[in-house]
Amino acid sequence: MTLRAFFLLMLCAGLPITASAGDLPTPKQGPVLRIQGSNTIGAALGPALVEGLMREQGLLKVHSEIPDTANELRVVGETAQGRRVVVDIAAHGSSTGFTALKNATADLAASSRPIKDSELLALKSLGDLKSPGAEQVIAIDGLAIILHPQNPLNQLNTEQLAQIFSGEAKTWEELGGSGGNIHLYARDDQSGTYDTFKEVVLSRRGKTLNSAAKRFESSEQLSDAVSLDPQAIGFIGLPYVRQAKAVAIVDGQSQAMPPLNSVIATEDYPLSRRLFFYLPPNGKNPWAEALVAFAQSSNGQAIVAANGFIAQTVQAMAVTPNALMPEGYQALSRHAQRLTVNFRFEEGSATLDNKARQDLTRVLDYLQQNQKTNRQVALVGFGDAKSDPARADLLSKLRAMAVRRELVKSGVVFREIRGFGAEMPVAANSADEGRIKNRRVEVWVY
């Protein structure tokens, strides 16, 4: 819906409006925007983005008010004429955001996991929520596996995690540690954090969460409980590690990866995930559209970083060569720097996914601002293991060529295009989730 259409709709409904908050309408009654969904987003990041948008719109006295209901808040600003402008945020879990869209009690869904097929079907009347304009990746997060600070273990693999949280591994001694019985801490069933953990760790190994696990709606409360229990283990979004200890994770043949910003930004970290806003294509709320645009802006991404998540801002990083790398990759890392973005593809295709489409613009901006568009860029493709290694090599290079085709349109001249096949996996190839992560294209600059 355009702003003009929104104004006409409000007038036809007999609702008085002003446009004193920038160009956005401010009805005299009710919130201008209702956001529901992920606690990971809604606890701090969502309110911070709303406050940033309000200030950008010229509103005054921007602040948050906390009602009586847990995990809900109201962000409030004032127009120059003294009128309150209100955004309501309810953070009860990702699935509640899609339910609220269906019930017309929210204008924007916040989710810490991709929309499910069942939700997509249920919300079909609102338009295609998987379209590029509707599915907006606003940040990257990593699920941290946390222990008590005194626990001596420093790394675990995803198979061990499945055994632990399903209850098959019952003591720390079974894992090479000490401390007796393992105490499990987990987010509740409404949580996108739980959905992500269930999908990438438990379900792909045919396991379910042990019923003895203590469940939490609040990320902060879960983390604090783990840091007070010497026998505890839990999973949490990266900004909520707090006083607990985060361990490195191994998936399949990948290297052990701690939840560091660099490997989460590229989504190589085995438990990395995307955070989303879902904006219904039909009947868009102009404040929701403005918030999505603000979240993707440089100011919005700075707020993402300030709140402990990983911004999608493109940067160059040095990579230290090691013996596990192919020789050609070692040579590349000695002479060039890798950008903090990986291009990934829709499942079962060579089509760039929605985040990759957004990243094309970010990478192009970086290359232009740093004068790297003329033979100073290398694309490196990877794939999942195939029975025919030559086919894996070919497919990895074809994916790199797909990225090349898009950037060439904007005048980028490449130095080299390489494919390394199924080498250097970042995830296990035993499930679709891992294969998708391994099908990636890296960008390197000289």
**Can you tell me the mean pLDDT for 55-61?**
97
**Can you tell me the mean pLDDT for 219-231?**
96
Q: What percent of the chain has pLDDT over 90?
A: 75
**Average pLDDT value for the chain:** 90
Q: Given a cut of 50, is residue 361 above it in pLDDT?
A: yes
pLDDT of residue 5: 42
Residue with tokens 């956001």: 35
Q: Given a cut of 90, is residue 66 above it in pLDDT?
A: yes
2 vs 330, higher pLDDT? 330
Q: Given a cut of 50, is residue 140 above it in pLDDT?
A: yes
Q: Helix, strand or coil for residue 361?
A: helix
* Domains 3-134+279-306 and 141-263 in one fold: yes
Using 50, 70 and 90 to split pLDDT, how confident is the model at 8? Answer: very low
Does domain 3-134+279-306 correspond to CATH entry 3.40.190.10?
Answer: yes
- Tell me if 444 sits within 8 A of 376, measured CB to CB: no
pLDDT of residue 393: 84
pLDDT of residue 387: 63
pLDDT of residue 195: 86
- 391-436 pLDDT, tens per residue? 878 888 988 999 999 999 999 999 999 999 988 988 776 666 667 7
Q: Given a cut of 70, is residue 3 above it in pLDDT?
A: no
Q: Taking the alpha carbons of 159, 165, 166, 168 in that order, is the dihedral positive or negative?
A: positive
Q: Given a cut of 50, is residue 360 above it in pLDDT?
A: yes
Distances (CA, A) of 2 to 85, 108, 235, 254, 281: 20, 16, 41, 47, 11
Q: Given a cut of 60, is residue 446 above it in pLDDT?
A: yes
Using 50, 70 and 90 to split pLDDT, how confident is the model at 15? Answer: very low
**Can you tell me the mean pLDDT for 186-207?**
90
Least confident of 88-92, 104-108, 321-325, 433-437: 433-437
Q: Mean pLDDT highest for which of 172-176, 207-211, 426-430?
A: 207-211
Terminal CA-CA length for the chain: 44
> Which of 354, 436, 362, 357 lies closest to 135 in space, CA to CA?
354
Q: Given a cut of 60, is residue 161 above it in pLDDT?
A: yes
Q: Beta-carbon neighbour count of residue 182 at 10 Å?
A: 22
User: The pTM is what?
Assistant: 0.82
Q: Given a cut of 80, is residue 236 above it in pLDDT?
A: yes
Q: Given a cut of 90, is residue 9 above it in pLDDT?
A: no
**Can you tell me the mean pLDDT for 269-282?**
95
pLDDT of residue 89: 98
- 370-388 pLDDT, tens per residue? 999 999 999 999 988 766 7
Using 50, 70 and 90 to split pLDDT, how confident is the model at 16? Answer: very low
pLDDT of residue 91: 96
pLDDT of residue 30: 92
Distances (CA, A) of 168 to 160, 214, 289, 389, 417: 9, 16, 46, 36, 46
Using 50, 70 and 90 to split pLDDT, how confident is the model at 1? Answer: very low
So where are the chain's domains? 3-134+279-306, 141-263, 314-445
Backbone dihedral angles phi then psi of residue 132, each to the nearest 5 degrees: -55, -35
- 316-350 pLDDT, tens per residue? 999 999 998 999 999 999 999 999 999 987 765 67
DSSP per position, 35-68: EEE-HHHHTTHHHHHHHHHHHHTT-EEEEEE--S
Taking the domain 141-263, which CATH number applies?
3.40.190.10
Using 50, 70 and 90 to split pLDDT, how confident is the model at 17? Answer: very low
> Which of 339, 345, 351, 414 lies closest to 383 in space, CA to CA?
345
Measured in residues, the chain has a length of 446
Taking the domain 314-445, which CATH number applies?
3.30.1330.60
> Which of 76, 72, 101 lies closest to 89 in space, CA to CA?
72
Q: Which residues pair with 184 in a beta bridge?
A: 233
pLDDT of residue 178: 86
